[in-house]
Amino acid sequence: GAGVSQSPSNKVTEKGKDVELRCDPISGHTALYWYRQSLGQGLEFLIYFQGNSAPDKSGLPSDRFSAERTGGSVSTLTIQRTQQEDSAVYLCASSLAAGFYTQETQYFGPGTRLLVL
């Protein structure tokens, strides 16, 4: 079956604009994760969804960031009033299990490259 898909693959926006990034997990995967990786930097965890619920939103970098998941499937990461420091690759992953502390493998999408001018 299809893997995790993300759209758009690339996004260039102007500072101050809002952007929406989309993640389509593997069908049947209950858990969904968002990460970001700034250019040449390491990985930063943003948020985890168990079904449609995110038990901990403290990983989101600021209140300009929000995420939601509907129908236990598609997730959207929204960044309001984008800043240049938001430029990064935003990665989404999904896994089969519903619990955070499980052995289920995370499968990653190709990422969305966001550039804020």
Which residues of this chain interact with another protein, rule CB under 8 A?
42-45, 48, 55-56, 58-59, 89, 91, 93, 100-108, 110-111
Query: CB 16 → another protein: shortest distance, Å?
Result: 28
Nearer to another protein, 62 or 102 (CB): 102
Q: Which of residues 15 and 45 has its CB atom nearest to another protein in the complex?
A: 45
DSSP class per residue in 56-101? --TTSSSTTEEEEE-TTS-EEEEESS--GGG-EEEEEEEES-SSSS
Residue 16 or residue 43: which is nearer to another protein going by CB? 43
Report how far residue 50's alpha carbon sits from residue 117's, in angstroms, rounded to the nearest whole number. 34
The residue count of the chain comes to: 117
